[in-house]
Amino acid sequence: MPNMNGTRFRPYIIPLLLSGTVIVISVAVALILQSQIFSINFNRLQTEFRTEAEDIRSRTQASFSEYKSLLTSARGLFEASESVSRDEWQSFVNSLNITKDYPAIEVIEYVQRVQFDDKEIFEKSVQEDTSLLSEGYPNFQIIPKGERTEYYVTQYIEPHFEYIDSLGFDVYTNPKIKSALDLARDTNSVVLSEPLRPFQYQDTPESLLMIIPIYKNDTPQLLLQDRQENLSGYIIAIINPERLLHGVINQTSIKHINFINITDVTQENIIVAERIETSVIAHNNSSDSEVVSLLTINFGTRTYEIEFFSPDKVLISSIERYSPAFAIGIGIIVSILIYIVLLNSIRVKSKAQLLAEDLTKEKSESIDKLEQQNTSLENLKSAMINILDDFNDEKEAQKRALIETQKFYLAVENASDHIIITDPEGTIIYANQAATRTTGFSIEEMLGRKTSDLWGGHMDDNFYQDMWKAIKTEKRAYDGKVKNQKKNGRFYTAEVHIAPVLNLKQEIMFYVGIERDISEQEKINALKDDFLSLASHELRTPMTAIRGITSMILDGDYGDVNENLREPLKEVSSSTEGLINLVNDMLNVSRIEAGRLKFVLSTFDLSNVIKQTCKLLHNLADKKGIELNCSNVQSFAVQADEDKVKQILINILGNALKFTDSGSISLRVELYEEHAIVYIKDTGIGIAPEDGKKLFNKFEQIENKARGKAQGTGLGLYLSIMMAHKMGGNIWLNWSEKGKGSEFGFSVPLENTQAAHSAKTIIENEALEHPDQKM
Amino acid sequence: MAKVFLVDDDPLLVRMYQKKLETDGYEVSTASNGEDALSSIPKAHPDLVLLDVMMPKMNGLETLEKLKADESTKKIPVIMLTNVSSKDATTDKAMELGAATYLVKSDYTPKEIVQKVKEILEAAHVEVPEVKVAVKDEEKKEE
């Protein structure tokens, strides 16, 4: 059988063919692996780089804004006075601490607009300006020389000696500067120039100019023409772009930066560009490909495109770089192994094939084997991909965690509230920038010290006892108002929120303290109160006259009264009374909001006050035919301001009387934990549930359709609840049904309770803070 | 006839209170500031002084202090009148200096003020005119 003869050589050919196929397959697999690993690595790199670039973009934008506010404050200097002298400018610039706080600013200068006609006078005035140098500037002249209709002359420059040569430089002669200056003037805004050489010399490095226009004081700037006419000069900050970006960039991750394209955006609504493109530039040496990120930063009317080049070492770290080769290596080794295994097995099997002549079966078996091998190779491949994926996932997660942490860090660091973190003993372990701003202490001065050694310790002992009790013993957050002292000795008022951070065992790990300086707000409140006091006095005098004279007319003091006039005169009288009440309530609301309403705490029997109040209102209740039931009241010793409690009760009872036409109003007192609660129940018109919520709002009056216009000032319940809170109690709508009546609850702290004690501390502190409190 | 001296810088209020007091049978002299009041009161020998707090030249508290320091005027009862909100440090100060009482003008009608005048004069055993109309219970003004 010729066939049989032929097959004798096949055992050697088949493994060869098979293993050849295997090699081809495994090489292919290895190549796929390589490319996948490469793309995974590349994607990861790209993401990392892009996040970094994004971070840089936001920080650059943030530092641009900081620089912008620096310029705005410099402009304030010029707006504050008729003229600013050279030495004033120098001491202002020195006070800014530029080298430390605005490291990218190389030079800050003031440029004066000079008309051709004034040129000589101007030059002379600078030459004779001896405020900084005793000899003045004898050689000063506007450079470059020549006749121009106007000059924009560098008049003041800091650092003064390093750049003294540039005094007199007419910046308008540089077309790039001119266009930026014009833009700033026309838009009355801070403008950032394109990269340019800012001085008269051409060998200086390229810089960005940040420009703010200054207009003559008290001139209109509304129209473009006004702005062009009234411009008096500019303040220019020369910014070193490399330093600006290096200030915000982690030095190791960026190799170099190119400002490549600056486009002026003229449309009104600029969409904040968020385009960040990352690309890989493959170098000849293929292992050293480079990542380039292109990002866009908007500032004012300009868009900057910035190219970031990653440094080589961030690229593919050695394992990652060789991992594709590693995969190929494994692929080849595996395929050689398979080849040997197959060759051997096929050799053995082929002998059996010859003997048993069941070639087909054998063949199919070896194909099975081959398939099996192939499957295991596939398994190997997916296992390897999984391992690599895991490896990447873990790094990715770490990176993500880092980014998250960084986000939180940035948010806390740049928050406008003063935030500090202390250990359980109160030693500061972290302070954000706002802490420096509000207290004047530097971060270095704060770390490792206690707040009591820095700005704290100016309240009485009770305050600190209460605070520590809350945050240390009770492990809860403490809110309060505190008076602190800045490094410069000035006091400020702040709202504080201090919270303990606990671990799983409920142990205190550290404290987070947030402070907000409210001194300004307090001052405004005090001013408002003073104004209202004065206004109310001025209002009350004529109102007293209207009410007094009306009552005298009605009494017949001015002669007989026409009967037709009695009703209208009564109306005049009662509306004046309403006005007087409104003024009183407004004044009290303003006082309590400013912490200037005086509370005199004492211990008294609540039932006595209730009985006195009921006595006051009995007449009114009788007139309306309503039963006022106050007899079922037990005695309880409470701590509060007796007058204020009476005022609150009059208010609630007054409302009950106003909105009840028949039936009764009854009072009872119950004890609940640390409070005595007065319940005032009426059978009046009731309050709809949706109105119940609005009841205690300022100026809120519930629409009363049955009676038309609401009565009263809308301040009564608001004032009452504010006063109740201050005394450590509360007021609430306990029950109400439309048409059936309502029940209000009013709680007052019992004497010698925690609630009474806390209220006392708060009230005493407020009295210390506002010695001019009024009752 | 009981004599009342009224000191206030607001002419409208002076006219109003003067009218009411005179209607009720009192003899009334007036001044528009503390300085004038101090020079006239010793000559006028009033039985009672109604004294506003906020006034130009010399305010009510200073005037009160001077009246109480002078032998010839120190026994005259003084009612302080004000329109500056409610009670505050001034109230305490006025009572400390020897004022008979302290009233917020906008809280009282002229009739009620005259009633207070009457009460204080009665307490000082000065003969007071019969008022034509009976004065109502004024408890509701306590608040």
Query: Are residues B83 and A537, on separate chains, in Cβ contact within 8 Å?
Result: yes
Q: What is the ipTM of this complex?
A: 0.83
- Looking at CA atoms only, how far is residue A775 from chain B in angstroms? 5
- Looking at CA atoms only, how far is residue A675 from chain B in angstroms? 25
- Which residues is B80 bridged to in the sheet? B51, B102
Out of A536, A619, A772, the one facing B85 most closely (by C-beta) is: A536
- Which residues is A112 bridged to in the sheet? A153, A233
Out of A544, A555, A587, the one facing B133 most closely (by C-beta) is: A555
> Which parts of chain B register pLDDT below 50?
134-143
* Structure-block tokens of residue A342: 């197959």
Answer whether B134 touches A (CB < 8 Å): no
Answer whether A535 touches B (CB < 8 Å): no
Which one of B85, B88, B92, B108 makes the best mutation probe of the A interface by having the most chain A beta carbons within 10 Å?
Answer: B85
Q: A240 and A207 in contact (C-beta within 8 Å)?
A: yes
- Block mean pLDDT (10 aa), chain A, length 775: 48 66 71 70 66 69 78 84 83 82 86 90 88 85 87 88 86 88 86 81 79 87 84 89 66 52 41 41 45 58 59 47 62 70 65 55 62 71 67 73 81 86 89 88 88 83 84 88 86 88 86 88 79 80 90 90 89 86 83 83 93 88 89 89 91 89 91 92 86 76 51 80 93 89 94 90 82 68
Answer whether B125 touches A (CB < 8 Å): no
Looking up tokens 């002298």, which residue turns up?
A85
pLDDT in tens, B64-93: 999 999 888 888 999 999 887 555 667 888
Answer whether A648 touches B (CB < 8 Å): no
Interface of B with A in 40-79 (CB under 8 A): 54
| Phi/psi of residue A748, nearest 5 degrees | -130, 135
The conformational region for residue A170 under phi > 0 = left, psi -120 to 50 = alpha, else beta, is beta
Out of B20, B87, B110, the one facing A775 most closely (by C-beta) is: B87
Question: B-chain residues within 8 Å CB-CB of A542?
Answer: 12
Query: Are residues B142 and A616, on separate chains, in Cβ contact within 8 Å?
Result: yes
Alpha helices in A440-495 (DSSP H): 443-446, 451-454, 461-468
Answer whether B136 touches A (CB < 8 Å): no
Alpha helices in B8-124 (DSSP H): 11-23, 34-44, 60-69, 89-96, 110-123
Query: Are residues B19 and A557, on separate chains, in Cβ contact within 8 Å?
Result: yes
Out of B13, B20, B111, the one facing A541 most closely (by C-beta) is: B13
Out of A537, A555, A616, the one facing B54 most closely (by C-beta) is: A537
- Looking at CA atoms only, how far is residue B6 from chain A in angstroms? 16
Which one of B81, B83, B95, B106 makes the best mutation probe of the A interface by having the most chain A beta carbons within 10 Å?
Answer: B106
- Looking at CA atoms only, how far is residue A703 from chain B in angstroms? 27
Query: Are residues A598 and B139, on separate chains, in Cβ contact within 8 Å?
Result: no
Residue A618 to residues A614, A629, A664, Cα–Cα distance (Å): 6, 10, 12
Answer whether B110 touches A (CB < 8 Å): yes
Alpha-carbon distance of A589 to B122, in angstroms, equals 39
Neighbour tally for B80: CB within 10 Å:
25
Question: B-chain residues within 8 Å CB-CB of A533?
Answer: 84-85
Question: B-chain residues within 8 Å CB-CB of A587?
Answer: 85
Query: Are residues A545 and B19, on separate chains, in Cβ contact within 8 Å?
Result: no
Q: A299 and A184 in contact (C-beta within 8 Å)?
A: no
Chain B residue with CA closest to A619: the answer is B140
- Looking at CA atoms only, how far is residue A754 from chain B in angstroms? 29
